Amino acid sequence: MPSRPLPEFSNSVKLKYVKLGYQYLVNHILTFLLIPIMASVSLELIRIGPDELLSHLRSLRHLDTVHVLCSAFLVVFVLTLYFTSRPRPIYLLDYALFKPPFTCRVPFSTFLEHSRLLSNFNQKSVDFQMRILERSGLGEETCLPPANHYIPPSPTMDASRAEAQLVIFSVVDDVLKRTGIKPKDVDILIVNCSLFSPTPSLSAMVINKYKMRSNIRSFNLSGMGCSAGLISIDLARDLLQVHPNSNALVVSTEIITPNWYAGNQRSMLLPNCLFRMGGAAVLLSNRRRDARRAKYKLVHVVRTHKGADDKAYRCVYQEEDQDGLTGISLSKDLMAIAGDALKANITTIGPLVLPASEQLLFLFTLIGRKVFNPKWKPYIPDFKQAFEHFCIHAGGRAVIDELQKNLELSAEHVEASRMTLHRFGNTSSSSLWYELNYIESKGRMKKGDRVWQIAFGSGFKCNSAVWKCIRTIKTSVGGPWDDCINRYPVHIPEVVKL
């Protein structure tokens, strides 16, 4: 008789459910181990009976008083040491985002018309910018500051300060109103803006505007790129660990006015097409009583810096072109360098957040490649097991595409990033907060949900922050998505023909 072919196991067995069973078993291994132990203890208690148990308890009366006091002291000492040495929890009370006025809107047609009217751009530069916009993933409602609407643009110091005041004061006013915090009650102030660093600093400008206390701890971060928002969060966390009963106001923005590039070097024309107005203000606290009204709790911040490598250091570089015009040059190696930085970052954050099932699979694969066959495909941990929401820096379509592919994320997982890029453009360090607000505005943020924020910046840096939602958040009101959230998500074609 001819032998019957073996069944196709990949079809007959639901491998997805096999993996789910494996994950459940490994992630709850302690529970499964404790059940037989507890059952054995219960059976032993039943066997000896209540009389013998009472006799054992009476025998404890004969213990020496000194022994009892020493034991009690030891217990109190250990508990005191534990509570005093554990890190203070960091709560995110609320945050506010800048919504540019409608008059600052820059449709593609306006952007290209202005570019053609500027005498310093040759036709090749105009065509190049048009091709970038067609493939950028940006929409028709992104905004540039008023000074960039002039022909030619007017990147003066006064215009730059005016943009900074418009953005920063708007978000600070809003977050103080949302949280009920008075300016004089702010203990720590951190402002980050990468490319506009005037004297006095932007943090001093905020202190002057709101007449904050003379003993406020203020910091102004510049030159740290699009990941500076998470660097500010990390700095605030460290300060809140050493200053009890305090709060911290973090302001993240990028001032666009002085950074318009008016030359024809292609690597410097990309920021013109991608960067747009935006800003965020975040209020953090280490007071335990604030846990009741906070939105999120900070779980981890992981920072990766690849600046020791020359290519990584120069891949986002401010310099002058051959005509002496200053701009930000983006290297062709940017995506490869970003991939290396991401790999180093997730290697650090993985053990902190991944369940045991994913860590064991990664470990077994790593051992297999080292011992048996180096050609084995490396196992990419399933970060969807660790997080419900992903906020990937909306630096550009290529950045989001690359992370979606490398982390094997679904379209829904990167929806907030793509829609933020479409509606607001690359707002630099504040883009992560627009994405978080998108998730809230869609009513998707539930109590216990975990959020992974990933940002890239010049230097080259990849930074991550992990937040845990403390309470189910109702649909966000008064944010930048209010008037358009019902239109999203929208289909974004690969190429928009202009």
Listed residue (409, 387, 489) closest to 442, CA to CA: 489
What pLDDT is stored for residue 5 in this prediction? 45
Query: Has 426 been annotated as catalytic?
Result: yes
Q: Decide: 188 and 216 in contact? Cβ < 8 Å.
A: yes
Among residues 220, 389, 437, 462, which one is catalytic?
389
- Return the closest-CA partner of residue 278 out of 159, 398, 170: 170
Which of 264, 286, 345, 426 is flagged as catalytic?
426
pLDDT of residue 27: 58
Q: Catalytic one among 220, 393, 437, 462?
A: 393
Is position 56 annotated as part of the catalytic site?
no
Long-range (24+ apart) CB contacts under 8 A made by 165-168 are 165/205, 165/209, 167/98, 167/253, 167/255, 167/277, 167/278, 167/279, 168/202, 168/205, 168/206, 168/251, 168/253, 168/279, 168/281
Residue 208 in contact with residue 189, Cβ under 8 Å? no
From 143, 422, 462, 463, the catalytic residue: 422
Quick one: pLDDT at residue 38?
79
- What confidence score (pLDDT) does residue 64 get? 65
pLDDT along the chain (498 residues), means of 10: 42 44 56 75 75 70 66 73 76 97 95 92 94 95 96 94 97 97 97 95 97 97 95 97 96 96 93 96 96 96 95 94 93 92 89 83 76 74 92 93 91 96 96 97 95 95 96 86 94 88
Task: Say what the pLDDT of residue 366 is.
Answer: 72
Are 196 and 155 in contact, with CB atoms under 8 Å apart?
A: no
Q: Is 305 a catalytic residue?
A: yes
Give pLDDT, residue 78. Answer: 74
The C-alpha atoms of residue 259 and residue 251 are separated, in whole angstroms, by 20
Tokens, residue 287? 């007071």
How much is the pTM? 0.85
Question: CA–CA distance from 123 to each of 129, 417, 436 (Å)?
Answer: 10, 32, 39
> Coil, helix or strand for 27?
helix
